[in-house]
C-alpha cells in the first residue's frame, strides 16, 4: 500500500527543521538530526517528506546491507570476500531508504538474530539481519525517540557511534556495517533523552508552532487541499520538489571540493570551547555542516556565514548542562563569539521570541503549565496548532 | 565465516589524551596490570583509542586452530580441545596471532558469552560438542566492553566470575566444559549514564578520566585529522603506518625488558603507602601500583622502577579505588562563646564535599534568624504565630537547590513478580516479550520461544527422529522459552514540606539538594516521578506522575517556602496520588519520599495536627503496596525534636537523615592526585 506523502517543499515555515534535514540529505556524514517540539508541528511529515527527496545510491545487488560496490572500507564480510576472490560484484541503483524503528521494537529485531527458517531447513546457523542492517547507508527514523525502550537505546548507542553492529546473541556471532543517519523526533514534555543518545544525533533543532495568523491560515489551506486530493496536490508541488532534488544532487557533487581555512576552523574550535560543549563531536559536526551549507550554496569555500548559519544545530544538544537544565543554547553568548546580532541569528524566531521569565504562579494541577516557563532558545508556545 | 573488517582511526593519530594513551600502552606492555577503564564525556575518542590499540598489540604464540588461544608451552593450562588432541597422539602445532581483542556488546546473550552447545555439529553427528563463546576467544587477550556501565548485571556476574578465577566453567545443555579464560577487561563509559558496581570497578587495573582538549589549535588539528580519515581511510592509515610500526616495536621491546626491571623495596613501600593513604580496599591497589611503576620503567627502557614512576602512575591506579575518609572527629565549635554543651557539629560534611549551602550572607529576611537558640516551646510558638519581623518575608521565599550528591541504592531487591514497565531501578522478570533476553528456560507457557535454545535442545537427537524434508525436527520436549529481564523504574512520589520551619537553618536548601540528588538517581534509573508540596493551609500536587524528571526539577526550583505546616494534608494528598497511581499500575509500587522536619501544626479536621498526621500515616501504612521513606530535614544537633522519626515509625517507613543518603563513593571527582 502506498500512501501519498505531503510534499516537503509544501511545508510552511519551520525553516530550521527543513534546513537541518536537507543538510543531512546532502551529507549523510553529518549523522542525522533530532527534532524536538510539541505535537502537531509537522515533525513526522517533514521526515517522511524528506525520503522523497533523497538521491539514489549504488548498491551491491542482493546484499542485505546494501554495500557500496566502490567503497571497500565499509563493505560487509561477504561482499569483501567476493570482491577479493576476484568476482565482479553485481550492482543496482535504489533510493536511499528511510527505515522506521517503532518504539515497540524488540532488541532482537533491531540488532538481528538467528535465522530460524534456515536453521530448521538446513540445520545451519545463519544470521538474520535486523533493522540496523536494513538502515545501513540510509536513514533510521525513530518517532518519539524519547519513548524508546531503554535496552533498545543501549544497542543503538554503540552502532550509531561506530557505524558497526556487533551481534553476540542467540547462538549467532556476527558483525556488519551499520552506518545510518539517525533521525528522531520527540516531544520534550514527555521526558528528555539520555545525554549519550542526544550526542549521537549530528544536529538538533527545537521547533515551535507557527504564530503568524496568515501563515497558520496557509497551513490549514494546504492541509485541506492535500487531504481532498493528495495526488493533485503533489502534482502542483512537483516542480518545486524537483528543483530541491536537483539542488541536493548538485550540492552532493560540490561537497568533496569544499575547503575550509584554518581561520574558519579556529572559529569553530573557539566556539566549541567557549560554549563549553562536551568532547569534540560538536567541532566535527559544525565543520561538516558548514561545508555542506557552502555546497548547498554552490560555493567551494566555507565562509563565516556558513558557520553562523549552522553552528546552532550542532551545539544545541551538546551544551554541558547542569542536571536537568533545558536543552538550549545561550544565543547571546553564541552571537557574541560568532560576532553577530542575536536577533538575526538564523533569521528566525530562534532567540528571544519569549523573554526569560520565571513569573509563574499557580503550578498546581496543571500538567502543561510548564509551558509558561521559557528559557532562551527554547520557545514553545502551548497554544499553537499543527503545522 | 569471514569477519567484517573495520578500518579504525590509528592510535598514533590521536591528538592529546596522553593519560588515556599511557594507560592503554602500559596494558599492552604488561597484561598483568589487569586492563583499563576509560571514563569520560562523550566524543573524546574513548572508543576509538581502545579499538585502535588492537592494531598495536604484539603477537603471541598459540596452538594452531585452538579456539581458546592456548599457549603451546603451558601444558598446565590447556583447554579440553587441546588435551583431547594430545591424548589422541596429535602434536600441537604452534602458530602465532596478535593478542585478541574481543568485543562484548551490551546486547550479548549468555550463551554467546560463556559458550554453548554446537548446534550444527549436534545435528550432523548427533553428538554434543561445546561451541566456545566470547570468554574462550578472549583467553590471553582483552575483552572490550563499550558503554560498560550499561552491561546487564547478569552478564557482569558472569564476567566477574571468569575474571576472578581465570577459567570459564560451563554446565549447560548437557555439556560440561572447563577452559582457561584469562583475559583483561577494557571498558569505556560515560558516567552520566550511571556508575559501575564496585566489584566490577575494582577489576579494572587502571582507570582514566578523559576530557576534551581545550586548546583551539589542537582542536583544529583534531578536526583536520578526523576529516582526512573519514574521506580516505586507506590513505590515512598508510600515512600513519610507519608511526604505528614504530610504536608496535617499542611495545615489543618493553615487553622483553619487563621481566628484567627491578622493583626496589622503597618503590614497593611507596606503593603501599599511597594505597593506604587513598584508603583503597584490599591489596589490589598496591600490587597494581608496583606493577604499573615497573611497566612504566620498562616502557621507558630503564632497568629499575623509581619512586617517580610510582607517582606518575598513581592516579591511574588509585583514581577508582580511593574512598572517602570516615567523618572526621567532631571539630571544635566555631564560636567559643557558645554556652551549649559541645553538640555534634551541625555540618558533618565529607571533606571533599563542595559547599552545599548558601553562604550565611543570605538576606536576613529570608530566615527567621535568631531561632537557633530558642527553646522548643518558643520555637513552636513562632511556627504557629509567625513573628512580625520574619513572618511576611518568610511566607514566600524561594530557596536555591543545594548541591546534589550521589545517593545510596534505595531499591527493595528483586522479586519474582512479573511486571510491565521500563526503567533501571529494580530488576524484574518481564512477562511481555520486551526486555533483554538473558537466557533460556524449560517451557513455562509464556509463548516466548527461545529458538536458539530450542534448536540446541533438539539437535543431538536428530539422527533418530522422523524428519519431513527439514533438517531438524523439534518435539515438544525440546521447547525452551526466553527468560527476559528488564529494570522497572519505580514511581517516586516526593512529598515536600515547604513550610516556614523548613526555611530555618537553610533546611530547605539541603532538602532541595536531597530531592535533586534523588531526581538525578531517578533519571539514571528511569523512574516515574511526582511531587506533592504542603505549606500554609493545604497541600497541592505540584507534579502529577510523569517520566519527565526535568519537569520535576523545574517545579522543585520554583517551589517557595513559607507558612505553617499542614503535614496531615500533605500525607493525605500523597496517599490519594499514590492510590490513583496504583489503580492504573497495580504492579508498580509507589515509593513515597517524605521530606520534612515533621513539625505538623495545621490540621485537616478538628483534632490536634500531629495526631491527625499520625492517623493518616497509619492509613498509608495499611496499604501494603505503598512503600515509604522519611527524610528528616532537621540537622543533628542539640535541638532536634525527633518528630520526623516519630512520623517514620507511624508510617512504617525507612528513616534517613539527609546526610545518610549519601553513597559511599568509590569514584570521586578528584582530578589531580599527582600532577
B397-419 pLDDT, tens digit per residue, is 777 777 666 655 554 433 334 44
Asked if B219's CB is within 8 angstroms of A272's CB, the reply is yes
Of the candidates B109, B474, B523, the beta carbon closest to that of A169 is on B109
Q: Is the pTM of this model over 0.80?
A: no
Please enumerate in sequence order all residues whose Cβ is within 8 A of that of A348, keeping only pairs 6 or more positions apart, or say none: A15, A16
Q: Residue B430 pLDDT > 90, yes or no?
A: no
Asked if B41's CB is within 8 angstroms of A119's CB, the reply is no
Q: Are A375 and A328 in contact (CB under 8 A)?
A: yes
Predicted confidence band at A23 (pLDDT cuts at 50, 70, 90)? very high
Residues in B closer than 8 angstroms to A283, CB to CB, are 219, 222-223
The pLDDT value recorded for residue A244 is: 93
Measure the CA–CA gap between B92 and B111, rounded to whole angstroms.
28
Across chain A, mean pLDDT equals 81
Asked if B47's CB is within 8 angstroms of A161's CB, the reply is yes
B13-52 pLDDT, tens digit per residue, is 999 889 999 999 999 999 888 889 999 888 788 888 998 9
Better-predicted residue by pLDDT, B492 or B374: B492
Most confident of A201-210, A296-305, A370-379, B76-85: A296-305
Q: Which residue has the cell 582542536?
A: B219
Measure the CA–CA gap between A288 and B598, rounded to whole angstroms.
57
The HSE-up count of residue A26 (CA atoms within 13 Å, CB side) is 30
Q: Are B267 and B287 in contact (CB under 8 A)?
A: no
The HSE-up count of residue B591 (CA atoms within 13 Å, CB side) is 20
When scoring B219, B402, B425, B478 by the number of chain A Cβ atoms within 10 A, the one with the most, hence best to mutate, is B219
Beta-carbon contacts below 8 Å between A and B: 248
Q: Residue A323 pLDDT > 80, yes or no?
A: no
B43-72 pLDDT, tens digit per residue, is 788 888 998 998 889 888 999 889 999 998
Of the candidates B4, B216, B526, the beta carbon closest to that of A150 is on B526
Of the candidates A108, A164, A279, the beta carbon closest to that of B437 is on A108
Segment B301-330 shows an average pLDDT of: 80
Of B285, B147, B207, the C-alpha closest to B24 is B207
The pLDDT value recorded for residue B36 is: 92
The pLDDT value recorded for residue A324 is: 53
| B433, closest residue in chain A (CA to CA) | A106
Predicted confidence band at B433 (pLDDT cuts at 50, 70, 90)? low
Shortest alpha-carbon distance between residue A272 and chain B (Å)? 9
Residues in A closer than 8 angstroms to B51, CB to CB, are 162
B88: left (phi over 0), alpha (psi -120 to 50) or beta: alpha
The pLDDT value recorded for residue B89 is: 86
Shortest alpha-carbon distance between residue B107 and chain A (Å)? 6
Catalytic residues of A: 281
Instruction: DSSP letter for A298, please.
Output: T
The pLDDT value recorded for residue B383 is: 41
Q: Report the 10 Å Cβ neighbour count for B174.
A: 11
Predicted confidence band at A300 (pLDDT cuts at 50, 70, 90)? very high
Report ipTM (2 d.p.).
Answer: 0.78
Of the candidates B113, B404, B548, the beta carbon closest to that of A192 is on B548
Asked if B553's CB is within 8 angstroms of A324's CB, the reply is yes
Residues in A closer than 8 angstroms to B455, CB to CB, are 114, 119-120, 171
Residues in B closer than 8 angstroms to A74, CB to CB, are 7
Asked if A323's CB is within 8 angstroms of B519's CB, the reply is yes
Asked if B193's CB is within 8 angstroms of A273's CB, the reply is no
The pLDDT value recorded for residue A340 is: 59
The pLDDT value recorded for residue B337 is: 42
Residues in A closer than 8 angstroms to B540, CB to CB, are 364-365
Segment A25-31 shows an average pLDDT of: 89
Most confident of B144-158, B227-241, B570-584, B629-643: B227-241
Q: Residue A363 pLDDT > 50, yes or no?
A: no
Residues in A closer than 8 angstroms to B129, CB to CB, are none
Shortest alpha-carbon distance between residue B462 and chain A (Å)? 10
Of the candidates B40, B422, B520, the beta carbon closest to that of A149 is on B422
Asked if A170's CB is within 8 angstroms of B437's CB, the reply is yes
B97: Cα separation from own chain's centroid: 35
Of the candidates A191, A280, A324, the beta carbon closest to that of B43 is on A280
Least confident of A124-138, B179-193, B410-424: B410-424
Q: Residue B372 pLDDT > 50, yes or no?
A: no
The pLDDT value recorded for residue B524 is: 66
Catalytic residues of B: 284
Q: Residue B330 pLDDT > 60, yes or no?
A: no
B245-282 pLDDT, tens digit per residue, is 999 999 999 999 998 999 999 999 999 999 888 887 77
Shortest alpha-carbon distance between residue B39 and chain A (Å)? 12
Strand partners, A181: A139
| B43, closest residue in chain A (CA to CA) | A279
Distances from the Cα of B462 to the Cαs of A117, A219, B129, B469, B610, in angstroms?
Answer: 16, 65, 14, 13, 74
Better-predicted residue by pLDDT, B217 or A376: B217
**Quick one: cell of B303?**
632497568
Predicted confidence band at A369 (pLDDT cuts at 50, 70, 90)? very low
Please enumerate in sequence order all residues whose Cβ is within 8 A of that of B566, keeping only pairs 6 or more positions apart, or say none: B499, B534, B535, B536, B537, B538, B539, B600, B602, B603, B604, B609
Most confident of B114-123, B227-236, B386-395, B422-431: B227-236
Residues in A closer than 8 angstroms to B42, CB to CB, are 195-196, 199, 278-279, 281, 318
Segment A162-169 shows an average pLDDT of: 87
Measure the CA–CA gap between B668 and A333, rounded to whole angstroms.
31
The pLDDT value recorded for residue A118 is: 81
Q: Residue B388 pLDDT > 70, yes or no?
A: no
Across chain B, mean pLDDT equals 77
The dihedral formed by the CA atoms of A16, A20, A22 and A25, expressed in degrees to the nearest 10:
-170
Of the candidates B41, B111, B450, the beta carbon closest to that of A278 is on B41
Q: Residue B353 pLDDT > 60, yes or no?
A: no
Measure the CA–CA gap between B161 and B167, rounded to whole angstroms.
8
- Main-chain phi, psi angles of B39, to 5 degrees: -110, 135
B108-127 pLDDT, tens digit per residue, is 888 889 988 887 888 778 78
Shortest alpha-carbon distance between residue A222 and chain B (Å)? 34
**DSSP per-residue letters across A133-192:** HHTTTSEEEETTGGGS-HHHHHHHHHHHHHSEEEEEETTEEEEEE---EEEEEE-GGG-P
Q: Residue B659 pLDDT > 90, yes or no?
A: no
Segment B451-480 shows an average pLDDT of: 76
Q: Residue A280 pLDDT > 80, yes or no?
A: yes
| A157, closest residue in chain B (CA to CA) | B147
Asked if A283's CB is within 8 angstroms of B233's CB, the reply is no
Q: Residue B672 pLDDT > 50, yes or no?
A: no
A199-238 pLDDT, tens digit per residue, is 889 999 998 888 888 988 999 999 999 999 999 999 999 9
Asked if B435's CB is within 8 angstroms of A119's CB, the reply is no
The pLDDT value recorded for residue A378 is: 41
Predicted confidence band at B586 (pLDDT cuts at 50, 70, 90)? low
Shortest alpha-carbon distance between residue B559 and chain A (Å)? 9
Predicted confidence band at A189 (pLDDT cuts at 50, 70, 90)? confident
Asked if A77's CB is within 8 angstroms of B4's CB, the reply is yes
The pLDDT value recorded for residue B368 is: 37
B340: Cα separation from own chain's centroid: 43
Q: Residue B73 pLDDT > 80, yes or no?
A: yes
The pLDDT value recorded for residue B228 is: 93
Segment B438-456 shows an average pLDDT of: 74
The pLDDT value recorded for residue B541 is: 85
Q: Residue A367 pLDDT > 70, yes or no?
A: no
Amino acid at each position: 500500500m502506498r500512501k501519498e506523502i505531503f510534499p516537503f517543499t509544501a511545508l510552511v515555515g519551520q525553516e530550521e527543521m527543513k534546513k537541518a534535514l536537507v543538510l543531512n540529505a546532502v551529507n549523510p556524514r553529518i549523522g542525522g538530526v533530532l527534532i524536538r517540539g510539541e505535537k502537531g508541528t509537522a515533525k513526522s511529515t517533514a521526515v517522511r517528506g524528506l525520503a522523497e527527496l533523497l538521491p539514489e545510491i549504488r548498491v551491491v545487488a542482493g546484499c542485505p546491507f546494501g554495500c557500496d560496490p566502490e567503497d571497500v572500507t565499509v563493505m560487509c564480510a561477504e561482499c569483501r570476500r567476493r570482491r577479493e576472490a576476484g568476482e565482479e560484484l553485481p550492482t543496482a541503483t535504489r533510493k536511499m531508504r528511510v527505515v522506521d524503528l517503532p518504539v515497540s521494537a524488540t532488541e532482537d529485531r533491531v540488532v538481528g538474530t538467528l535465522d530460524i527458517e534456515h536453521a530448521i531447513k538446513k540445520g545451519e546457523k545463519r544470521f538474520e539481519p535486523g533493522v540496523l542492517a536494513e538502515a545501513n547507508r540510509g536513514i533510521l527514523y525513530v518517532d518519539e525517540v524519547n519513548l524508546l525502550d531503554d535496552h533498545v537505546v543501549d544497542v543503538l548507542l554503540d552502532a550509531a557511534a561506530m557505524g558497526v553492529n556487533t551481534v553476540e546473541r542467540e547462538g549467532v556471532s556476527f558483525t556488519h556495517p551499520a552506518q545510518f543517519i539517525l533521525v528522531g523526533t520527540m516531544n520534550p514534555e514527555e521526558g528528555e533523552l539520555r545525554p549519550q543518545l542526544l550526542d549521537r544525533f549530528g544536529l538538533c533543532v527545537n521547533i515551535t508552532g507557527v504564530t503568524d495568523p496568515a501563515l497558520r491560515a496557509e497551513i490549514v489551506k494546504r492541509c485541506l487541499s492535500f487531504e481532498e486530493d493528495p495526488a493533485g496536490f503533489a502534482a502542483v508541488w512537483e516542480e518545486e520538489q524537483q528543483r530541491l532534488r536537483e539542488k541536493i544532487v548538485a550540492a552532493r557533487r560540490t561537497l568533496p571540493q569544499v575547503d575550509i581555512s584554518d581561520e574558519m576552523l579556529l572559529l569553530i574550535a573557539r566556539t566549541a570551547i567557549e560554549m563549553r560543549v562536551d568532547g569534540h563531536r560538536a567541532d566535527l559536526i559544525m565543520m561538516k555542516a558548514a561545508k555542506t551549507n557552502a555546497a548547498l550554496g554552490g560555493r567551494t569555500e566555507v565562509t563565516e556565514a556558513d558557520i553562523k548559519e549552522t553552528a546552532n544545530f550542532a551545539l544545541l544538544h551538546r551544551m554541558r548542562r547542569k542536571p536537568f537544565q533545558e536543552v538550549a543554547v545561550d544565543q547571546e553568548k553564541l552571537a557574541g563569539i560568532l560576532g553577530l546580532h542575536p536577533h538575526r541569528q538564523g533569521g528566525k524566531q530562534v532567540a528571544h521570541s519569549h523573554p526569560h521569565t520565571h513569573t509563574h504562579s499557580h503550578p498546581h494541577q496543571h500538567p502543561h503549565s510548564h509551558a509558561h516557563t521559557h528559557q532562551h532558545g527554547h520557545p514553545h508556545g502551548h497554544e499553537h496548532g499543527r503545522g | 565465516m569471514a569477519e567484517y573488517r573495520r578500518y579504525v582511526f590509528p592510535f598514533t593519530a590521536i591528538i592529546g589524551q596522553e593519560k588515556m594513551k599511557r594507560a592503554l600502552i602500559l596494558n599492552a606492555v604488561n597484561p598483568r596490570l589487569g586492563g583499563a577503564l576509560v571514563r569520560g564525556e562523550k566524543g573524546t575518542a574513548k572508543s576509538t583509542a581502545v579499538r585502535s590499540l588492537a592494531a598495536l598489540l604484539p603477537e603471541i604464540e598459540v596452538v594452531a586452530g585452538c579456539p581458546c588461544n592456548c599457549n603451546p608451552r603451558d601444558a598446565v593450562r590447556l583447554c579440553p580441545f587441546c588435551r583431547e588432541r594430545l591424548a589422541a597422539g596429535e602434536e600441537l602445532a604452534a602458530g602465532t596471532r596478535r593478542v585478541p581483542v574481543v568485543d562484548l556488546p551490551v546486547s550479548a546473550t549468555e550463551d554467546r558469552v560463556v559458550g554453548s552447545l554446537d548446534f550444527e555439529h549436534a545435528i550432523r553427528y548427533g553428538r554434543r560438542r561445546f561451541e566456545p563463546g566470547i570468554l574462550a576467544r578472549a583467553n590471553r587477550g582483552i575483552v572490550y566492553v563499550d558503554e560498560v556501565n550499561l552491561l546487564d548485571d547478569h552478564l557482569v556476574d558472569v564476567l566477574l566470575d571468569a575474571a576472578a578465577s581465570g577459567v570459564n566453567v560451563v554446565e549447560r545443555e548437557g555439556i560440561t566444559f572447563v577452559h582457561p579464560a584469562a583475559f583483561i577487561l577494557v571498558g569505556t563509559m560515560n558516567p552520566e549514564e550511571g556508575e559501575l558496581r564496585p566489584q566490577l570497578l575494582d577489576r579494572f587495573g587502571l582507570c582514566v578520566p578523559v576530557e576534551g582538549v581545550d586548546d583551539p589549535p589542537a582542536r583544529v588539528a583534531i578536526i583536520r585529522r578526523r576529516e582526512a580519515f573519514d574521506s580516505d581511510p586507506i590513505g590515512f592509515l598508510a600515512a600513519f603506518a610507519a608511526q604505528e610500526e614504530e610504536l608496535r616495536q617499542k611495545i615489543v621491546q618493553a615487553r622483553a625488558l619487563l621481566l628484567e626491571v627491578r622493583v626496589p623495596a622503597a618503590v614497593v613501600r611507596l606503593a603501599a603507602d599511597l594505597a593506604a593513604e587513598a584508603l583503597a580496599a584490599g591489596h589490589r591497589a598496591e600490587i597494581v601500583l608496583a606493577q604499573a611503576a615497573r611497566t612504566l620503567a620498562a616502557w621507558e627502557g630503564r632497568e629499575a622502577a623509581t619512586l617517580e614512576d610510582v607517582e606518575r602512575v598513581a592516579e591511574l591506579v588509585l583514581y577508582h579505588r580511593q574512598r572517602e575518609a570516615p567523618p572526621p572527629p567532631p571539630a571544635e565549635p566555631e564560636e567559643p562563646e557558645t554556652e551549649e554543651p559541645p553538640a555534634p557539629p551541625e555540618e558533618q560534611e565529607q571533606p571533599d564535599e563542595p559547599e552545599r549551602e548558601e553562604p550565611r550572607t543570605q538576606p536576613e529576611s529570608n530566615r527567621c534568624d535568631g531561632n537557633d537558640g530558642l527553646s522548643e516551646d518558643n520555637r513552636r510558638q513562632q511556627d504557629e504565630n509567625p513573628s512580625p519581623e520574619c513572618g511576611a518575608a518568610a511566607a514566600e521565599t524561594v530557596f536555591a537547590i543545594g548541591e546534589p550528591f550521589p545517593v545510596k541504592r534505595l531499591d527493595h531487591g528483586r522479586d519474582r513478580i512479573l511486571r510491565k514497565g521500563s526503567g533501571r531501578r529494580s530488576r524484574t522478570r518481564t512477562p511481555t516479550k520486551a526486555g533483554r533476553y538473558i537466557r533460556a528456560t524449560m517451557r513455562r507457557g509464556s509463548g516466548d520461544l527461545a529458538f536458539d535454545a530450542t534448536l540446541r535442545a533438539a539437535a543431538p537427537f536428530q539422527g533418530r527422529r522422523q524428519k519431513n524434508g527439514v533438517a531438524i525436527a523439534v518435539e515438544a520436549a525440546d521447547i525452551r522459552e526466553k527468560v527476559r529481564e528488564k529494570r522497572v523504574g519505580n514511581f517516586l512520589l516526593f512529598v515536600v514540606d515547604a513550610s516556614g520551619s523548613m526555611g530555618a537553618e537553610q533546611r530547605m536548601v539541603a532538602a532541595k539538594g536531597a530531592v535533586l540528588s534523588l531526581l538525578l538517581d531517578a533519571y539514571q534509573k528511569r523512574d516515574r516521578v511526582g511531587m506533592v508540596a504542603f505549606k500554609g493551609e493545604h497541600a497541592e500536587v505540584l507534579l502529577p506522575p510523569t517520566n519527565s524528571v526535568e519537569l520535576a526539577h523545574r517545579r522543585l526550583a520554583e517551589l517557595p517556602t513559607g507558612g505553617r505546616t499542614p503535614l496531615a494534608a500533605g500525607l493525605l494528598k500523597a496517599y490519594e496520588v499514590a492510590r490513583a497511581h496504583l489503580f492504573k499500575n497495580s504492579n508498580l509500587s509507589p515509593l513515597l519520599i517524605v521530606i520534612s522536619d515533621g513539625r505538623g501544626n495545621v490540621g485537616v479536621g478538628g483534632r490536634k495536627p500531629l495526631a491527625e498526621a499520625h492517623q493518616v500515616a497509619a492509613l498509608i501504612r495499611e496499604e501494603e503496596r505503598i512503600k515509604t521513606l522519611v527524610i528528616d530535614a532537621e540537622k543533628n544537633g542539640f535541638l532536634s525534636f525527633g518528630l520526623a522519626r516519630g512520623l517514620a515509625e507511624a508510617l512504617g517507613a525507612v528513616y534517613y537523615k539527609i546526610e545518610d543518603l549519601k553513597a559511599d563513593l568509590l569514584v570521586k571527582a578528584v582530578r589531580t592526585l599527582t600532577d
